Chain A
């Protein structure tokens, strides 16, 4: 992934209405954010709209960004996820269904990178981090991974997950808690490095 200090500099420049800095930020992060939006929305056209809306929101509100709360990358991922989930929740309310929510098999194939293994990229920092994330996911029991994915990528509450999977709510809560704690322990940055990437 890009260097965090550069991201901070770019955010500062965007806050001063530097359009080239916004473009540079876009080049760095758009592919990952677009993939996230496309995964959540399951629709490339909608993902393009959300991606553009996310960067436009960055343009309009970069002055309010605070590095104290987290790095620019974390901010961008949270913003993209939030906007994509808002769009998908609206669609679900309109359709009255959870039918568009991704299934366990799809999640397993998609998120564990089986499709992407052939695209071995240079050993960049981002690839290292990607491997770390996938490794942490693989370590989870499948039932816990499924619950985590439905919460994170589909924005389902634990009650909705329980309904979808036909599992008791208490079981889902236990799995969610275990999965999240595991991911935190595996992925949290060491003091001094957090919030930079």
Chain B
């Protein structure tokens, strides 16, 4: 059994995420027990180590980062103040997209083009509703396999159960193969989400409803499949959820 004095060095190692071995569980249990002296020492060590960041000369980030953050926060405030947020957003989106379709119809006179745009508009509208939902959760998926790159973000609207996946920087699949999104059920079974069509630019978007029985807090992943309609994954995950996101 260590004394609080003997724990001082271990505390600074813990603050730096460098404590290993038997000392780690012992110290964690001690801190969890509420020792005020050691908790104070831990806070002091964390504060001291945070100053290491000052050893680097500050760099002014690009103005666009601040602008994006301001816009996002302002939009969040506006949304939280709007009493019938979903209603007016739906109307605004519908009016805007109807205008876009009308504009496109004027420019592109073929019926087929208008039909395609209307179809895309419907998908865009549904995707926007997921993104604008007050109940949206985000889950980041990142590449885990050697020789594979890419990332994706899954937006999940708890209220509607709609899921919208956006992927970027993904290697297009080899000929005859497809990327498939999978969820996991409460009992650990795979639940097929859908095929993720990756463009030549490495981007993809997929709008689906959460499969029945799927649990978004359980693993969500993407595999490469020969059969795009496979009922269960046959290969290792290429993109998997990053718990906690960044």
Binding site for B on A (CB under 8 A): 1, 17, 19, 22-23, 26-27, 30-36, 38-39, 47-53, 55-56, 59, 69-71, 73-74, 77-78, 80-81, 83, 86-87, 90, 93-96, 110-113, 115-116, 119, 126, 129-130, 132-134, 137, 148, 151-153, 155, 157-159, 173, 176-177, 180-181, 183-184, 186-189, 194-195
Instruction: Supply 15 further A-B pairs (C-beta < 8 A) apart from A31-B60, A133-B51, A176-B16.
Output: A17-B77, A17-B80, A19-B77, A23-B70, A23-B73, A32-B54, A52-B68, A56-B69, A69-B46, A93-B144, A177-B9, A187-B49, A188-B45, A189-B47, A195-B47
With A129-B51, A194-B44: A151-B16 Cβ-Cβ less than 8 Å: yes
Asked if B60 and A180 sit within 8 Å, CB to CB, the answer is no
Least Cβ–Cβ distance between A48 and chain B, in angstroms: 5
Asked if B144 and A183 sit within 8 Å, CB to CB, the answer is no
Asked if B56 and A87 sit within 8 Å, CB to CB, the answer is no
Asked if B56 and A126 sit within 8 Å, CB to CB, the answer is no
With A94-B143, A111-B55, A152-B16: A183-B43 Cβ-Cβ less than 8 Å: no
Asked if B143 and A133 sit within 8 Å, CB to CB, the answer is no
A-B pairs with beta carbons under 8 Å apart, 19 shown = A17-B76, A19-B77, A22-B69, A31-B60, A32-B58, A51-B65, A52-B68, A53-B245, A70-B46, A70-B47, A94-B149, A95-B146, A111-B55, A116-B57, A129-B51, A176-B16, A180-B13, A183-B49, A186-B48
- Expressed in whole angstroms, the Cα–Cα distance for A130 and B53 within the complex equals 9
Contacts of A86 in B (CB 8 A): 242, 244, 246
Asked if B46 and A78 sit within 8 Å, CB to CB, the answer is yes
With A96-B146, A177-B9, A180-B18: A187-B72 Cβ-Cβ less than 8 Å: no
Q: Could you tell me how many residues of chain B have their Cβ less than 8 Å away from some Cβ of chain A?
A: 51
- Expressed in whole angstroms, the Cα–Cα distance for A194 and B50 within the complex equals 12
Identity of the chain A residue whose Cβ is nearest the Cβ of B47 in the assembled complex:
A74
With A32-B54, A32-B58, A48-B62: A83-B80 Cβ-Cβ less than 8 Å: no
Least Cβ–Cβ distance between B150 and chain A, in angstroms: 9
Partner of B20, one of A32, A34, A116, A158: A158
Contacts of B64 in A (CB 8 A): 48
Partner of B56, one of A110, A189, A194, A195: A110
Asked if A115 and B57 sit within 8 Å, CB to CB, the answer is yes
Least Cβ–Cβ distance between A52 and chain B, in angstroms: 5
Contacts of B45 in A (CB 8 A): 180, 184, 188
Contacts of B59 in A (CB 8 A): 31, 34-35, 38
Identity of the chain A residue whose Cβ is nearest the Cβ of B71 in the assembled complex:
A19
Asked if A133 and B142 sit within 8 Å, CB to CB, the answer is no
- Expressed in whole angstroms, the Cα–Cα distance for A35 and B9 within the complex equals 29
Residue B160 CB within 8 A of the other chain: no
- Expressed in whole angstroms, the Cα–Cα distance for A103 and B187 within the complex equals 46
